[in-house]
Structure 1
Amino acid sequence: MQKSDAASIKNINKQLVLSCIRHFEPISRSQISKRIQISKPSVSLMVEQLLQEGWIEEKGPGESTISGGRKPVQLVFNPKAAYVIGVDIGGTKVASGITCLNGKVHAYREFATSDYLSKDLFKRLQKDVSSMLEDLWLSNSEILGMGIGVPGVTNVEQGIVLDAPSLKWKRYPVRKIASEYFSFPVYVENDVNTSVLGEQWLGAGKSLRNIIFISVGTGIGSGMIINGKLFRGSNFSAGEMGYLVTDYENAKSYHPTYEGYGFLESVASGSSIGHKLSAVKNQTVTAKEAFTLWKKGDESAQKVIEEAVEQLGYGIANYVSLFDPDLVIIGGGVSESFDDYKASLIEIVEHFTPQSCKIVRSTFGKEAGIVGAVALFLEEHDSIIRL
């Protein structure tokens, strides 16, 4: 066996030991050995290295053995061994945060996207990151890296946003530009893909192997975990749910709410709801205001929202029939009113699908994009810490 092969196997085994501790803590050295089928001496050696590097900690003695022998020392993961920065670049705001390795957000910042979209967006982001590092008394050396979620088709391998209509970005080299401001590794991905990774890591889809995350906001997009892995498609554009056609008659006279938007998001997104109700009311109405009017019994709002929910239901029914997921998660701005239209949505989906599928609201609030971006980094970056 070549030295490089031996080193690679050793590193893989070290990852296994750390992963075992993260998932089954507190745990002893002998318990690790039994779980991952690696000899006790090898486990002990790797544990010592992990202790020296700060990835794990010893936590007092465990329970005594049956024979009454010495109690084994318990090992636990150290989530503050390093930190990751998550960034969510949306059409309305840019949110950023710093999390420990358990995904807890320890600092948060945001600013209006429109104020910096044409100039100095990453310079402004750098300012927020520096501010958060100061607040947490952290140095750049304690940051593993950064994950960035963007509302558009993204080539994650090259870090290029191929098309993001709401940001007016085409072939925009996000990773290259970000690297001019940040010294650590940067990964970029479509924001709904980061969201579904976050849900699988810490949210409603924790440990599930088949998850559909649907973001209903300005537009409609989805991220898919299929057989435990994020599915991106041949051109990084899998999950463009907004382009589904759910109404043959309306499709004949289809005009997108915004240039570059697909049929479904032009009849069922938050922007579509606001756009249609504004036309009826002859005044500007946002989607949030539309739902408020709906709850108050406004007939126009009721008609617009019910039509949107119906079309969204058809789209979700198609997804459920095609992919047979464990779970469908609804996120985005329109998910804030999920409890109000949940029953209608589920009824429509169940009517058109071969079997029922659980549909729930996203676990996370304003920090969803940040947690997802951190999950992206941990998924993509080749380090000892993996999702």
Structure 2
Amino acid sequence: MLTGTAPSTQLVRRVNASAMLKAMRGAGIVTGTELMAATGLSRATVISICDELVHLGWLQELENQRGAGDYVKGRPARRFVFDDGAASVLGIDIGANKITTIVADMAGKPLSRVTMPFRTYNVSAGERADVLDRIAADALDRAGVPAASVLAVSVGVAAPVGRNGEVLTVQEFWKSFDVSRIVSERHGWRVLLENDANLAALAERWQGAAQGVDNLVVMLAGDRLGSGVLESGRLLHGQLGGFGELGYLNNVDGVGDTYGIAHYAALWGREIMESHPDSKLRVLCGGDPAALTAEMVFKAAADGDTAAGEALNRLAHRMARAIGSISTLVNPELVVIAGAVAASAELLIPAITRQLLDFTFTPPRLATSALGDGVVSLGAIRHALDYVEEHALDLSPATLRKGAGAS
């Protein structure tokens, strides 16, 4: 009758410890009574888990002071504080042309951010790993924390990722570059691999335009379109990890592929230049169509250039079809356009919103991200912190500090 009791008890304890850490992060000094109110746990459970978390190095217990905290029969309450500096996590975004790394403390506060150019092709796996090493070492040095303090590293990649952390793609780049294994072997860090759009969704709900939104789609919309989907606050992966992949857009009329806003703004801007020689676009790119960028097209349209406006109207129609299709499938409350193009894409929102009812009976609210091109690496920080919270009883910052001191 008792078979499975111990594992079940340990699972409950893990869940309770995670709830405690969530309640304590950023809350300052708290008492057992306050933790009971925040988590719904009994006093005995709260105090027992606090003692364990103090032993592991997650919490600090403060000395009792007369007049501080609440009292039980004249005895001052025990007071605890979450140790933000107990350890650190890394969030890494491996993009098409660069790598961005953020180092953060246990409260999720970024301590440093480093971006380095990165050529994805015609570079050996060893050279790629060396670049990762350099950027991680630089970020840790700027943050002023030792490599031994890292409890988890989350890496975002522009490819579908399976539930077990494997990249589900036939691209030669990922076949030859097992980033999770390489980083883990070189540093001993726990490495978590995730799709970049999924991480962007975590970032937006954590610190971006989607705070408090449980049903959400975040679209990375730069050179390519990708999406991360949250339903009832839970990131969806599907059977193999491909939930939110937008390859089906190849078969959607008026869309036809997964190229993004930046790609088509520049492409259609060049086409417009040919038929409108007096357009401001020609001035912005110095008369060289190859030098025209998406940002130039958005700038010209914002300045009232009619030709550039035509290109953006065409782009808004395309995005309305793409957003309408995914909204019909998953019915989100909000769709956030994210990535480096997000600030410019604000110009598209009114036109997309007007057209959405033509393509879905359940149009969502639309917003653009304010998190910039760091949205994926920031989401990777949230992803790493979620892992640490879930496994807090298996991880010991106190042991990390002793090991660092011994070295």
TM-score range, shorter chain: 0.7 to 0.9
1:359-381, Cα deviation, whole Å (9 max, x unpaired): 11124123212111122223456
Change (3 A) 1:118 1:171: closer
Map 1:191-206; keep pairs closer than 5 Å: 191-206=196-211
Give the letter for the 2:189 counterpart: F
Q: Which residue of 2 aligns with 1:15?
A: 18
Change (3 A) 1:242 1:216: farther
Change (3 A) 1:275 1:383: same
> Are residues 1:123 and 2:130 paired?
yes
1:195 touches 1:369 (CA, 8 Å); kept in 2? yes
2:340 touches 2:373 (CA, 8 Å); kept in 1? no
> Are residues 1:287 and 2:301 paired?
no
- Bigger drift between 350-359 and 60-69 goes to 60-69
1:330-386, Cα deviation, whole Å (9 max, x unpaired): 102321213322211222224544355321112412321211112222345651289
Specify the SS of the correspondent of 1:149.
strand
Q: CA deviation at 1:163?
A: 4.8
Specify the SS of the correspondent of 1:374.
helix
- The percentage of counterpart residues that share the same residue type is 22
| Separation (CA, whole Å) in 2 of partners of 1:32 and 1:114 | 49
Q: Which residue of 2 aligns with 1:341?
A: 348
Map 1:23-172; keep pairs closer than 5 Å: 26-58=29-61, 72-114=77-119, 118-119=123-124, 120-160=127-167, 162-163=169-170, 168-170=173-175, 172=177
Map 1:359-374; keep pairs closer than 5 Å: 359-374=366-381
Task: Select 1:317's aligned residue among 306, 321, 324.
Answer: 324
Structure 2, gaps ≥5 residues long: 275-288, 395-407
Q: Alignment length, in residue pairs?
A: 371
Give the letter for the 2:319 counterpart: L
Task: Select 1:271's aligned residue among 242, 263, 267.
Answer: 263
Q: CA RMSD in A?
A: 3.1
Q: Which residue of 1 aligns with 2:227?
A: 222
Structure 1, gaps ≥5 residues long: 252-262
Q: CA deviation at 1:90?
A: 0.8
Change (3 A) 1:66 1:136: closer
Q: Which residue of 1 aligns with 2:239?
A: 234
Change (3 A) 1:88 1:73: same
Q: CA deviation at 1:209?
A: 1.9
1:226-253, Cα deviation, whole Å (9 max, x unpaired): 12221122332221235425863x57xx
| Separation (CA, whole Å) in 2 of partners of 1:52 and 1:385 | 10
2:247 touches 2:258 (CA, 8 Å); kept in 1? yes
Q: Tell me the TM-score normalized by structure 1.
A: 0.83
Specify the SS of the correspondent of 1:162.
coil
Q: Tell me the TM-score normalized by structure 2.
A: 0.80
Give the letter for the 1:133 counterpart: L
1:215-274, Cα deviation, whole Å (9 max, x unpaired): 1100111100112221122332221235425863x57xxxxxxxxxxx2434x5311221
> Are residues 1:377 and 2:384 paired?
yes
1:215 touches 1:222 (CA, 8 Å); kept in 2? yes
Which structure has more RCO (C-alpha within 8 Å, separation ≥ 6)?
Answer: 2
Q: CA deviation at 1:35?
A: 4.4
| Separation (CA, whole Å) in 1 of partners of 2:70 and 2:112 | 43
Specify the SS of the correspondent of 2:104.
strand
Change (3 A) 1:43 1:168: closer
2:98 touches 2:115 (CA, 8 Å); kept in 1? yes
Change (3 A) 1:74 1:225: same
| Separation (CA, whole Å) in 2 of partners of 1:357 and 1:158 | 31
> Are residues 1:188 and 2:180 paired?
no
Q: CA deviation at 1:122?
A: 1.9
Change (3 A) 1:321 1:139: same
- Bigger drift between 154-163 and 43-52 goes to 154-163
Specify the SS of the correspondent of 1:224.
strand
| Separation (CA, whole Å) in 2 of partners of 1:71 and 1:338 | 56
| Separation (CA, whole Å) in 2 of partners of 1:305 and 1:58 | 58
> Are residues 1:175 and 2:173 paired?
no
- Bigger drift between 27-36 and 191-200 goes to 27-36
Change (3 A) 1:275 1:231: same
Q: CA deviation at 1:138?
A: 1.9
1:96 touches 1:109 (CA, 8 Å); kept in 2? yes
2:101 touches 2:114 (CA, 8 Å); kept in 1? yes
| Separation (CA, whole Å) in 2 of partners of 1:371 and 1:155 | 21
Task: Select 2:333's aligned residue among 326, 336, 341.
Answer: 326
- Bigger drift between 216-225 and 4-13 goes to 4-13
